[in-house]
Amino acid sequence: MGFLLMTSLSPFASFGRTAGKLQIQSDPSLVKAAVGEDVLLKCMFTVGDGSMDLSRLLIQWFHRGQQLVEFDNVVTAARPNAIMSQEGVATGNASLLLSGVSTKNSGKYRCYISYTPDMQIREVTLQVEDPSKTSEDDLDDSILLQPRPDRSDVLSKLDQIIKALAQLEAKLEQFMSSKTFPECAGAPKR
């Protein structure tokens, strides 16, 4: 559904944008670490025009459907070993520091950055290896035990998407109303 929504909006995504569009650079798709290490998942961003209005910025990191950290004027962390720097965010650094990782920290991490009206997502996979485990030990049920996303989190994200769509619709209507189109022959008049 998210892919369909993003694809259906892409033809309109450039309306109202200037040269200051959101750009993100991140780690390669796979980052490897050993148990107990501190890992930095890099996610750097620019808004192009150099001046950043933090009130237009929303950053969220997720792992297995659970939010780890968020920046919405301040950094808040939902997990104690997940850190994003408030000072870093102000300079375009949305990197996530995971301290003392374990094999449970393995998996896909998603960084969502919204700088109104732009939004981009980057995904990186963290592979945490435990040299003390045998290959049979790696066959655990952790995938089956992943918690489902909390309904209130999903509804909150849907509300954010609806608000962003309403803003996009208003900008599109404003853009379209500022343009004049010649009437087509035989087309009914409005």
Q: What is the pLDDT of residues 66-94, one digit of tens each?
A: 999 999 888 988 888 899 998 999 989 99
What is the per-residue pLDDT for 136? 52
Residue 84's domain comprises 25-130
Q: Is residue 180 part of a domain?
A: no
Q: In the predicted model, is pLDDT for residue 152 greater than 90? A: no
Rg of the chain over Cα atoms, rounded to whole angstroms, equals 21
What is the per-residue pLDDT for 174? 75
8 Å CB contact between 95 and 40: yes
Upstream peptide bond of 28 is cis (omega within 30 degrees of 0): no
**Domains contained in the chain, number:** 1
Top mean pLDDT of 42-51, 143-152, 168-177 is at 42-51
What is the per-residue pLDDT for 165? 80
Section 46-60 average pLDDT: 84
Q: Is residue 165 part of a domain?
A: no
Q: Is residue 31 part of a domain?
A: yes
Contacts of 20 by beta carbon, 8 Å cutoff, 6+ apart: 47, 48, 49
126 versus 167: which is more confidently predicted?
Answer: 126
- Average pLDDT over the chain reads 77
Section 121-146 average pLDDT: 71
Across 61-65, 103-107, 139-143, 149-153, least confident range: 139-143
Type of residue found at 168: L
Q: Is residue 107 part of a domain?
A: yes
How far, in Å, are 25, 121, 174, 183 from residue 29 at the CA level?
12, 13, 39, 50
Q: In the predicted model, is pLDDT for residue 128 greater than 60? A: yes
The CATH number assigned to the domain holding 95 equals 2.60.40.10
What tokens were used for 49?
């025009």
What is the per-residue pLDDT for 1? 36
What tokens were used for 141?
């049920």
Q: Is residue 64 part of a domain?
A: yes
Dihedral class, residue 73 (left if φ above 0, else alpha if ψ from -120 to 50, else beta):
left
173 versus 138: which is more confidently predicted?
Answer: 173
Type of residue found at 68: L
How far, in Å, are 5, 27, 116, 121, 123 from residue 2 at the CA level?
5, 23, 18, 11, 14
Q: In the predicted model, is pLDDT for residue 9 greater than 50? A: no
Q: Is residue 11 part of a domain?
A: no
Return d(Cα 71, Cα 28) in angstroms, integer: 23
Q: Which of 34, 55, 44 is nearest to 111 (CA)?
A: 44
Q: What is the pLDDT of residues 90-123, one digit of tens each?
A: 989 999 999 999 999 999 999 999 988 889 899 9
